[in-house]
Structures are given as structure tokens and as C-alpha cells.
Structure 1
Amino acid sequence: MKICPNCGNQNEDNAKFCGSCGTKLVDVAVQASQEAQSLHNEQVSPENQTAESHNVDITKENVEANAPAQVQGQAPTQGQAPTQGQAPTQGQAPVQGQAPVQGQMSTQPQFNNSNNMNMAYGNGNSAPIQQAKPALNLDKNTMIIIGEAVALVVAIVIFFFIGNSTYGYKNTAKRFFEGVIKADSKAIVQASDVDDKTFLTDDIFKKVYDKDGEYKADNFDMTSSYADRVQGKVYFSYLESGSGEKSSYTVTVNKKNGKSMLFFPKWEVKPTGVIIRDFKFKVPTGADLKIEGKKVDKKYITQKNQKGVDVYTIKDLFVGTYEVEVNIKGLKSVPEMVDVYSNDGVYYVTNVSMDEKSQNKLLDQGYDDMTKICESALQGKKFSDVSNLFVKDSDTQDEAKKEYDDFVDSISTSDDESGIVSFDLKNVNGKVKDVSIVDGRVVVSISYSFKENVVYNRQIFFGDGCERENYDAYDSYDVSYSLENGKWKISNPRNIRMVYYY
């Protein structure tokens, strides 16, 4: 073992530096070092303690003198260390268990207050021992962890760089405009600020999109842009396909609440001119609305039964021309083309038709209603007896009451007993003239022709009393019906005077 002369640490035989303090080790024999260590540990005499408390120089000659050990029983020669039991001669180092004689120098190294040992060389000059810096020893696992940490930091930096670029307001506007000129509905919708994507499907887009639209372009450039904390604008120039004429397009981008991919600001395009907001369709109450063959859910009704009208409000629709139809029980739907080009637009769906069976059923109802009105008037009954034949809104009811009361007055028997006694309607023929939707209501116009036979009492002009007469005449009667809560009601009461006498 090698003993460090600086700190006393035991080191391996082949060690060149102390493993504890890094001091360069003196190239001495292992055995001599062990003997010197033993000598240091042995208690010394009081007079020698004073000498040991001082720093001493260990010369190369001292080390060499202590290196060889004499065989037991042999007298030590000068320069050799005596064996156990022998007294050391002058110049010899005492072995373990012996006290050094007077005049001998202890081979145990001594230390000064600075913990540096000076070694004496032949000329008496001393040089400090250079201490080696301990090497940085990193095992394989540590190196792997450091490498992974560096890779993670680089990946995070790249992630945020790409994310801010991809989800920034400029790229959002660019994706939207590319969708417009390439007719890519998915790109348009993904970049746009929309609330409801129900009708923003690729299938509907292909049906309503104007393939010869003004935004077809061969190439484009982003000319300028700016943004504040809430809104940005990006300006594009492009060459129109075919004509090659240069045009411009502006995209407005709004900053929204929330984040894209959890980390990046969320920008969405205000899709003016491409997607319409809050377009309204007015249809008869209870009717089913279809847009491009897709039935519209009742949840889109924002106003229900407003004078027989339901209002469907569609939050988001592509700009374009749509095929729209309504389905009403007893009526045949007739598709019609509707242009959707402005926000908050309103369209009254007007095209419907009736099958023959439904027409005949309504014609029979019209004849029954006409007969009831005439009979009630002839009997002088009040309007309340027939009020349920008319639509319920107050304007129609007021007008119907006035017409009915006038009809009653015109045919009732007076004090002189003149007036209609009876009537009979013959050869009644009815025909549906028109089926339409007016102000959201289904209106069916019917015309009746008939022959009437009227028996009445006529006052004698030159005399007292009345004489009974009758007449036959051909007449016509026009009436309109509206669908109210699934039932047909008279909607124009102006022509209910069907019977006259002269």
C-alpha cells in the first residue's frame, strides 16, 4: 500500500495520485511506506514529540535508506534498517516497535499548516507537489439522460415555432383563401368562425357552389397584413382563371377565446361572402322543411305559429342557390330554388301542390261550408254559429262577422213577410284554381259554379200583401282556404253572399 504524505490516505501500490486529495504520490517502496506508517502510529517519547511537531524534509536518501529491510539475525549494515530486536545504527531508521536513537531522523512525513509537503532534493531546494484535478466521470445512463433532455428542449422549441407559424392569423387566412379559390369546403369551414356545421357539408357545398364563380384563380400572393390583439386583416392578390385579370381579396381574422392545440392563439376567419349567418325560412305552421333534400330539425324553429307561420333560422349556410321544399300533410311538395346571398335574409317558401284526392276532399268541405253558411243566414242565426269555419286571427274574424250579418239582413223576412223562403243549390262544380303559400300560409283558391233555385215572397207594388215567386239562376262563388293547425279554414270572407233575391 502507498500512504499519501499529504492526508495519510492508503492507496493501491500502483497509484500515482492520492484518491482522496489528488496529491502526487512519492515513488517509494511499499514496505517502507508501511513501516513509516507504523512508526507514525507508535507512541513516541516526549523529547521526540517536540521534533515531530516540526516540518521535516524527506530526502531521496532517507527514502532509499528505509527501503531495504535486513533479514532477521543478520547484522544491519550502514544504510540498512535493523531488524526487530536490533538497535539501529546511526543513519538507520528504527523498525516497528523501536524508538529512534538520538541523532536519527524520523522517516514519518510531517505536515505544515498549509497541508503542503515539501520534499528535499540533493541541493536542498524544495518544490511544491502539483495536485491533479479529479476527472469528470459520467456513466452511460447519465449520458443518455443528458442527451434525452437536450433532445426534449430542442423538440419543444421546434414545436412552438411550427405551432405559432401554423396557427397564426396569416396562415389561418391563407388556408381559408386557398379553400375559396380551390372550392375546398373543408378548408373553408375549418378556418371559419361558424357555430353550426350541420349544413356546411361537402355534399351540400358541391350542389350550391357556383363553379363559374368570381374567385377562381390560378395563383395568388399575400401582399400585406396586420393584426392587433383582437383582429387581423390579410390582403391577397390573384389572377382570375381564364381572363388573367388581377384582382384582390381581403380576409378578416378574429382572435377567439381558447387555444389551438392547447398552446397557441386561436384565430378564425369572418367568412363574409362565403358563409351566410342566420338565414330564415318561413313555412306554414306544422310543415316540414327540407334543404337540399335534408330535413331540418324542429330545433331550428325560432318563431312558432306566428299567424300560422313557423320561422326556421339556419345559423350557417354556404352562399349559393338551394333546392328547398316543404312537406305538408295533404299537400304535395314542390321543390323551388332559393338564392341565399345575404345575412339575416328571409324567404317565404311558396311552392306546394295538392294531389287529386286532397283536392276533392277540400272541394267537398267547401260545398258543406257554403251550405251551412246559407242555412244559418236563412234561419237568422248569429255569427257564432259559423265562426269556426273561418281562420282564427282577429282581422279575419271581424271581417267575416260583418259580411255574415249583412248577408242575414239581405235575405231575412221583413215585417211584410217579404224575403227568401227557401233555396236550393244544384249542379255544383268546384275547381282548385291555385295552391300557394302567402306570407308563410298555405292558401288554396277554389271557384264554385252552381245553379240556384230560390223561392221568395215579393211585395206587391200596387196593393197589399206579398206574392210568392221563384227563380233559377246560374251563379259562381270564389273562396280561399288556409291551412291552420292541420285544418282548412276560410281565409277570405268577402264573398260569402252566395244567394240573392230581387
Structure 2
Amino acid sequence: MLICPNCGTANTDDSKFCEGCGTKLEGVARQAPGGSEEINAQPAAEPENAPNMEPDGGAAAEPTVEPGAEPAEEQTEPAMGPEPEQWQPEHADQGYDPNMGQSFEQNMPQGFDQDFTQNMAAGGAPRKKMSRLQLAVILEAACLVLLIVVFFAVGNSRSSAGSVAEKYFKAYVDQDWEEAYSMLEIPEGTFIQEDQYEQIMDASEQPEITNFQVQESVGDVEDGITRTFTVNYSINGQGQSSTTVTVVRQSRKSMLFFDTWKVSADGLIAQDYSIYVPQGAQAAVDGVQLTEEQLSGDSEGMDCYQISIFNGTHSIQVEAPWFETYEGQFDTLSQGEYTVSGLSLSDDGEQAVESKLQEALQAYYQAALAGKSFDEVKDLFAEGAADSNEDAYDRLRDDLEATDYSAPKQIQFSGFRCQVYDGDSYNGSLQAELEYDYNVSYTYTYTYSGRTEDRTNDGSSYADARFVYDGDTYKLLSFDPGYVWY
């Protein structure tokens, strides 16, 4: 190999320039195996206009070496001839530093010069060192991949059906009703609101749960929409118990990638719960007024409202004309429906009922005594109740017609005594009984002589009536005026 006299780099025997610094190597001693030196046999290119250094008439004499003699000590500088020609860079404006190779070699890691030399000797190109920009790009890509992996791992863990069921039951155990409500699949409704849910849960007696475990129900068939989990838990002082939590997959995605699960509210909500109140009454449940949109119909003097509401105990207030304000409670878990009954008449209401009943009694008898048709008293009755009462009126009118021996002329009523009953026996209608005294003036005709005589007859009787509210006032639903004897 050839050792560069300028930088000391080891080069192959056929190298013309130093691979380290570019110095021309022709004429440089070759390092033979075993440590001896040999002169490069290739003739050095003579520089232009160089003087002929050979003796006249022949080739230059080669130095002779005696056998067994030590080779002559290498001169540090050639005794004659021009200085070694150095390789010039391609661009002349870029200067060349003779010490460049040495500084480069000093900054290389240990063993680099040997690898570099072997790689160059094998004819390969030197390996390039990565730049800081390349390292930064690789590092950022690795961090991005790691973040994506963590993102999906955490997202799947937090949004899974099992984790939602466990978080919900933990909120239930901690009585964190705000957190529990946020995980429920709740339909929209007037009586299905977060504050109402919290009121129901606070009012209900909750067990003291010490620990619990959530696991998917054995034999549960996954349909892709619902998942059911069994929760085994311990109640302080009562032992073990269990319940189930069903979660429902929603149509929307969480963070664009993950399934969204909500806890089913089945068992928590009473759907289309029916509440019956007297017709014309205004009702409020838990302080929220019932509206016409929730009115589903009426029957026998009662209005029926249907609402969806959280299962539990609820308050109700009812205000009806002539009655005291009604306040009560109902429990949707123990009652399939609720009927408001037992309303109490106010003092003004009692007087109004008695007046209404007296007016009806007198108008009814006066029309019948005059022989008028039912149309004369039809307005006393609520809509739909007239047909069922027309026959009774016609019979009374026929009884009051003049006969061969008597002809009533006038009936007077007095001494009214009214008794009003609560409407619970008649589905919200107002029932009242009116006891009264009467005086009948009539003409009696003797059968054989044909002689007539004016007579009077006194007596007492009672009328029975049921009233319903038609939106403006109370009207008769049924009426039995009692019988007047003469």
C-alpha cells in the first residue's frame, strides 16, 4: 500500500492521488508486507520543461543494495526534482486546506478511518451521515405514530360499552346524579329533565353500596345495538345483590372514530302514564302545568292526560271551579294510572251548586207543567247528556197533563236543603241532592156530578242531580226532579 507523505492516509498500490487529501502519489515509497518499503515502480510524469535528470547516453543508474544490508534511511524531503503535484478542487475559487484531512479524521468516531479506507479500497462510496433535519423528521414521525396508537387505545377504552356501564353504576353508587343523567339515553319530554331526575333520585331511598363488579351477562347475545351487563354489589349490612345495566349504541360517533354508548332508561321512565282529573280542572304535576297537547280524551266527566315521567313519587295539584285546591301524591311504580278524587267544595261552591239545582228544578217543572217539549230545558244539560234525559222529561210532562178529574195549575217550591257529595264515586262529576217542600194548586172535578173544586196539596220530595263542567260552567249530566203528588 502507499502511505501519503502529506496526511499519512493508507492508499492502494495503484492509487495515483491520495484518497484523504488528494496529494499525487507517484514516486512515493510503497509499504510492503512485513514493514519494508519499496519505491513505486510507476514512472512519475515529468513536468513540462523539466530538465533531463538522466546521464547522457543512458538511463538513470539504479542504486545498488548489497545483500543483507539495511535499506537506506528514507529522506524526509526529496533531494531533487519538483515538489509533489497536488490535486486541485474542481472549482478554483474554493480554496483547499492541506490540514482538512487531518481535522476530518480527528472528528470521526473511533474506527471510522479504517471503515472508510476499507470501503474505498473495495470501490464503494463512503456512507453519508444523516442531517439534523432528517433526524428531526424521523423523530416527529415516530412521535406521531405513538400518539395515534395512544389516541385509539384510550378512545376505545373510554368509549367501550363495558366502561360506560361501569362509569354509570359508579355514579349511581356515589349518588352523582348529574354524571349519571349525562350517560342515560333520555327521550325528550316536559317531565323528563335533569332537575326532575335529581329530585326523584334525592327523594328515593338509596342503598349504601360498599363495592361492585361489572361483567357482561352470560349468554347475552350481542345484536350490535344493545349490550347487557350484570352488576354484582354488596349493600352495607344486607349482603350481596345484583342488577343489570343495558347500554345502547348511538348513531353518532365520538371524536369521529369511536362508538357512543348510552345507558338504557327502561325501568326509569313511565311512558304514557294516565292521569284523570275532573273536567274543566287545571292540573300541575311537580309544579309543571298539564297542557292541552297532553290531553288524550275525556270519559264520564273526567279529562285524561298522558305524560311520560320518571318512575317514583310525584306531587299533583288540581284546581277546579267551586272546589278547594286539591293537593296529592302518586307513585308510578305502584299505580298504573292515577285518578284525582275526593275534591272538596268550597263554601262558595256549595252555594253555587244549591242555586244551580234550584233553578234546574223549577225550570224543569214549569216547562213540563206548561206542556212544552224537551227543547225548552235542553240547555240545562251538558253536551251529549240531553238524549238520555229526554224520555224522563216526557214522562213527567205526561203525568202533569190534565185528566178527567184533576188539572194542576201551579207548583211552588220552598224549604230547600242541599247535600253535595264528593265526586270520587262518579268519576269526577259533581253529585248533589236537593230536598224541598212543594205546594200544588189544581182543580178537582167530581166524577158523578161534574162539579169542580180548587184544591192545594202540600208535600216534600227530593231531586237528585249530577253536574259536569263544560268549560264555562257546570251543567246537568243527569237529573231526577223527584215526584210531586196532588
Query: TM-score, with normalisation over the residues of structure 1?
Result: 0.67
> Structure 1, residues 384-421: CA drift from partner, whole Å, max 9, x if none?
2212211222xx3333111111111112212x261321
Structure 1 residue aligned with 2:211: 219
**Are residues 248 and 379 of structure 1, via their aligned partners in 2, closer, same or farther at CA, if it must alter by over 3 Å?**
same
Cα contact 1:456–1:501 (8 A) shared by 2: no
> Structure 1, residues 24-44: CA drift from partner, whole Å, max 9, x if none?
8464459x9xxxxxxxxxxxx
Verify: 1:361 aligned to 2:352, yes or no: yes
> Structure 1, residues 294-321: CA drift from partner, whole Å, max 9, x if none?
22344333x2456655433223x22211
Query: What secondary structure is seen at the aligned counterpart in 1 of 2:363?
Result: helix
Verify: 1:268 aligned to 2:252, yes or no: no
Counterpart-to-counterpart distance in 2, 1:28 and 1:163? 61
Structure 1 residue aligned with 2:125: 131
> Structure 1, residues 218-259: CA drift from partner, whole Å, max 9, x if none?
222225435512322211112223x33211112233334333
2:164 pairs with 168, 172, 188, which one?
A: 172
Verify: 1:311 aligned to 2:328, yes or no: no
Structure 2 residue aligned with 1:102: none
2:413 pairs with 415, 420, 425, which one?
A: 425
**Are residues 328 and 128 of structure 1, via their aligned partners in 2, closer, same or farther at CA, if it must alter by over 3 Å?**
same
> Structure 1, residues 174-233: CA drift from partner, whole Å, max 9, x if none?
233334444443344333332125434454345444867475422222254355123222
Structure 2 residue aligned with 1:53: none
Structure 1 residue aligned with 2:474: 488
Structure 2 residue aligned with 1:400: 389
Aligned-residue identity in percent:
22
State the Cα distance separating 1:422 from its structure 2 match.
Answer: 0.3
Structure 2 residue aligned with 1:324: 316
Structure 2 residue aligned with 1:387: 378
Q: How does 1:103-502 map to 2 (within 5 A)?
A: 129-139=123-133, 143-144=135-136, 146-196=138-188, 198-201=190-193, 203-205=195-197, 207-209=199-201, 213=205, 215-225=207-217, 226=220, 228=222, 229-241=224-236, 243-301=237-295, 303-305=296-298, 309-315=302-308, 317-329=309-321, 331-341=323-333, 345-393=336-384, 396-414=385-403, 416=404, 418-436=406-424, 438-439=426-427, 442-460=428-446, 463-493=449-479, 495-497=480-482, 499-502=483-486
Counterpart-to-counterpart distance in 1, 2:472 and 2:424? 16
**Are residues 360 and 321 of structure 1, via their aligned partners in 2, closer, same or farther at CA, if it must alter by over 3 Å?**
same
**Are residues 78 and 310 of structure 1, via their aligned partners in 2, closer, same or farther at CA, if it must alter by over 3 Å?**
farther
Q: Which amino acid aligns with 1:239?
A: S
> Structure 1, residues 80-108: CA drift from partner, whole Å, max 9, x if none?
xxxxxxxxxx99xxxxxxxxxxxxxxx99
Counterpart-to-counterpart distance in 2, 1:133 and 1:297? 85
Query: What secondary structure is seen at the aligned counterpart in 2 of 1:477?
Result: strand
Query: What secondary structure is seen at the aligned counterpart in 2 of 1:492?
Result: strand
**Are residues 177 and 130 of structure 1, via their aligned partners in 2, closer, same or farther at CA, if it must alter by over 3 Å?**
closer
Q: Which amino acid aligns with 2:271?
A: R
Counterpart-to-counterpart distance in 1, 2:125 and 2:169? 71
Can you give the 5+ residue segments of structure 2 that lack an aligned partner in the other structure?
1-9, 11-16, 27-38, 61-85, 88-119
Q: Which amino acid aligns with 2:453?
A: E
Cα contact 2:420–2:432 (8 A) shared by 1: yes
Q: Which amino acid aligns with 1:389?
A: L
Cα contact 1:411–1:501 (8 A) shared by 2: no
Q: Which amino acid aligns with 1:78?
A: M
Q: Which amino acid aligns with 1:401?
A: E
- Cα RMSD of the aligned pairs, angstroms, is 3.9
State the Cα distance separating 1:424 from its structure 2 match.
Answer: 0.9
May I ask how many residue pairs the two structures share in their alignment?
Answer: 398
Cα contact 2:270–2:332 (8 A) shared by 1: yes
State the Cα distance separating 1:279 from its structure 2 match.
Answer: 1.5
**Are residues 420 and 244 of structure 1, via their aligned partners in 2, closer, same or farther at CA, if it must alter by over 3 Å?**
same
Counterpart-to-counterpart distance in 1, 2:424 and 2:140? 75
Can you give the 5+ residue segments of structure 1 that lack an aligned partner in the other structure?
1-15, 17-22, 33-58, 80-89, 92-106, 109-125
**Are residues 364 and 227 of structure 1, via their aligned partners in 2, closer, same or farther at CA, if it must alter by over 3 Å?**
same
> Structure 1, residues 5-59: CA drift from partner, whole Å, max 9, x if none?
xxxxxxxxxxx9xxxxxx98464459x9xxxxxxxxxxxxxxxxxxxxxxxxxx9
Query: What secondary structure is seen at the aligned counterpart in 2 of 1:455?
Result: strand
State the Cα distance separating 1:145 from its structure 2 match.
Answer: 5.0
Q: Which amino acid aligns with 1:238?
A: Y
Verify: 1:78 aligned to 2:53, yes or no: yes
